[in-house]
């Protein structure tokens, strides 16, 4: 195992796409993993392959480092959770005070499986787009949760398993800026065109920041971040 390799949790959304570029600019070998947990809208999963293909095409130096893409079937997670991301349910706040889009245990499960793949593939770090800033308040996106999980994985697999979260303290405007810094306008365009964030799975409305319904909380964050970054 080399410490210059990483496995990126790549969903096909804006954040994980920027994380992938971040990893490719730092590590010698990078692989990606995506999870099918019967999310209500599978459009994000469709975006993954297209984004990966176009990224390879646009950045030959990154293509040389970008190794296998893993797709994991975690249908069981959709079967045990009753949330607005996995069922036809209104997006809002649940009785717990958490958004109804919160899938309990999701990141814990994702990172544990990612740790197992990294172990098998001899990859050192796990990289994810978890973020505490201007955010829906998912408890499994906090750095403290990542620290605990990193310790659990390191102990449980008896090898260092760092979890890198480059977006943890960035807001959405800074995430657009990071895309620009890492890959220039070409990468920003790729993120706009080929990543998906909208909770409603809308790919029919095109805005300057990309596709989406324009009103759900995910579109709202993405649009506001874009506007703030463009105005800066
Ligand atoms: Zn939307």
Residue ranges of domains in the chain, CATH in brackets:
5-197 (3.40.50.620)
- For residue 14, report the distance from its CA to the centre of ligand 1, in Å: 13
Distance CA 48, CA 185 (A): 20
Q: What are phi and psi of 93, to 5 degrees?
A: -115, 130
- Give which of 146, 121, 164 is closest to 31, Cα–Cα: 121
Q: State pTM to two decimals.
A: 0.90
- For residue 79, report the distance from its CA to the centre of ligand 1, in Å: 24
- For residue 213, report the distance from its CA to the centre of ligand 1, in Å: 4
Angle formed at CA 218 by CA 16 and CA 187, multiple of 5 degrees:
40
**pLDDT value at position 94?**
53
- Whether 75 and 35 have beta carbons less than 8 Å apart is answered as no
Q: How many CB atoms lie within 10 A of CB 53?
A: 12
**pLDDT value at position 46?**
85
pLDDT tens for the chain, residues 1 to 232: 557 999 999 999 999 999 999 999 999 999 999 999 877 677 888 899 999 999 999 999 999 999 999 999 988 887 776 655 555 555 555 555 556 566 778 889 999 999 999 999 999 999 999 998 855 667 888 999 999 999 999 999 999 999 999 999 999 999 999 999 999 999 999 999 999 989 888 999 999 999 999 999 889 999 999 999 999 8
- For residue 108, report the distance from its CA to the centre of ligand 1, in Å: 25
- For residue 189, report the distance from its CA to the centre of ligand 1, in Å: 19
- For residue 139, report the distance from its CA to the centre of ligand 1, in Å: 22
- For residue 134, report the distance from its CA to the centre of ligand 1, in Å: 17
**pLDDT value at position 209?**
97
């Amino acid at each position: 195992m080399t410490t210059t390799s990483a496995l990126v949790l790549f969903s096909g959304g804006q954040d994980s796409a920027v994380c992938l570029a971040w990893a490719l600019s730092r590590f010698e070998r990078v692989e990606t993993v995506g999870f099918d947990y019967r999310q209500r809208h599978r459009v994000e999963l469709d975006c993954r392959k297209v984004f990966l293909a176009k990224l390879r095409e646009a950045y030959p130096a990154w293509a040389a480092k970008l190794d296998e893409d893993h797709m994991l079937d975690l249908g069981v997670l959709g079967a045990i959770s009753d949330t607005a991301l996995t069922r036809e349910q209104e997006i809002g706040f649940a009785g717990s005070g958490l958004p109804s889009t919160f899938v309990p245990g999701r990141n814990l499960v994702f990172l544990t499986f990612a740790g197992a793949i990294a172990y098998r593939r001899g990859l050192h770090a796990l990289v994810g787009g978890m973020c505490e800033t201007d955010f829906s308040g998912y408890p499994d996106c906090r750095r403290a949760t990542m620290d605990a999980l990193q310790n659990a994985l390191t102990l449980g697999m008896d090898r260092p398993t760092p979890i890198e979260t480059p977006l943890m303290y960035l807001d959405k405007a800074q995430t657009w800026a990071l895309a620009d810094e890492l890959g220039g306008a070409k990468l920003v365009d790729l993120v706009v065109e080929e990543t998906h964030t909208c909770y409603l799975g809308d790919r029919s409305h095109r805005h300057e920041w990309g596709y989406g319904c324009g009103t759900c909380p995910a579109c709202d964050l993405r649009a506001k971040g874009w506007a703030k970054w463009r105005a800066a």
